[in-house]
Amino acid sequence: MAEIDTSSHSTHKNRRRGKKLSTRVDLTPMVDLGFLLITFFIFTTSMNEPKTLKLKLPADPDQKSPSLTAEGKTLNIVLTDADRLFYYMGSGSEQMDSTGYNPDGIRRVIMQKKKQVAQNYGDADELVILIRPTRLRIKMS
């Protein structure tokens, strides 16, 4: 609350001056009003809704992927340091055969596998050749 001080300090007894009144303002209601306004704005503001990114999913798995091939169409060639090539069809490396770098070696193998693919799948161009280099030294017996 506001208070008014009515006591006067006069040094001259004969002179009359206007009384100086001192005021003191109590700020307690102002603080209460500030907290009321803060709580009002906190409860009435709307928060930002979370924004999400659109998730791009891959296509249906029913469609044929161009990177998938049948094992019967895949010829794996393993290069070694011993001037020999090892090759096998599909993923079964248990039946690995070997040949040399000469024209009668790997070229003959590729031509045979192309004929097998054309016979089994209808198109010789569907043969996929994977070349796998290795640093292993294979001893020939």
pLDDT per residue as tens digits for the range 26-42? 888 899 999 999 999 88
For the chain, how many structural domains are there in total? 1
Task: Select, from the ranges 78-82, 97-101, 118-122, 137-141, the one with the highest average predicted confidence (pLDDT).
Answer: 118-122
Query: 56 and 41 in contact (C-beta within 8 Å)?
Result: no
Question: How far apart are the C-alpha atoms of 117 and 113, rounded to whole Å?
Answer: 6
Per-residue pLDDT band for 124 (boundaries 50, 70, 90) equals confident
Q: What is the per-residue pLDDT for 1?
A: 54
68 membership: H or E segment, kind and range: none
Q: Is the pLDDT at 15 greater than 70, yes or no?
A: no
Question: How far apart are the C-alpha atoms of 125 and 118, rounded to whole Å?
Answer: 8
Q: Is residue 78 part of a domain?
A: yes
Q: Is residue 85 part of a domain?
A: yes
Nearest in space to 20 (alpha carbons), one of 5, 30, 34, 32:
5
- The position carrying tokens 């009003």 is 33
The per-residue pLDDT for range 46-96, each reduced to its tens digit, is: 777 778 878 777 776 665 665 666 777 888 888 877 777 888 887 776 778
Phi, psi of 97 (to 5 degrees): -110, 165
Phi, psi of 102 (to 5 degrees): -70, 165
Q: Which domain holds residue 126?
A: 71-133
Q: Is residue 21 part of a domain?
A: no
